[in-house]
Structure 1
């Protein structure tokens, strides 16, 4: 679900790891390593994880699809 939201909020940044609408395995592997905040029942204006840290890790270790 977080990858889907990320694709909506940071589509251009995520684009190098998407080909033919298929998200690279590197995105899933990287997302699995990112700490997330408990959302609970509160409303948020941002995603419950550090988006910049996610992309930093993805660039360092993720193989691009495109």
Structure 2
């Protein structure tokens, strides 16, 4: 019964039974604990260059201001 409210409730019950009552709390607590300083955070100049490239190929018209 995947994709229904009843199926979701059954899946949640199964997960809690197999992995413990705090299953969803443990998953939720993982959010944001991993590093989030990669990508453009580490290199502002690279972010500036990427933004400029995107602006050059943009299909959006010039601002009317």
TM-score for the superposition, normalised by structure 2: 0.23
Higher relative contact order (CA 8 A, sep 6+): 1
Structure with more helix by fraction: 2
The structure that has the greater radius of gyration is 2
Superposition TM-score, scaled by structure 1 size: 0.23
Structure having the higher strand fraction is 1
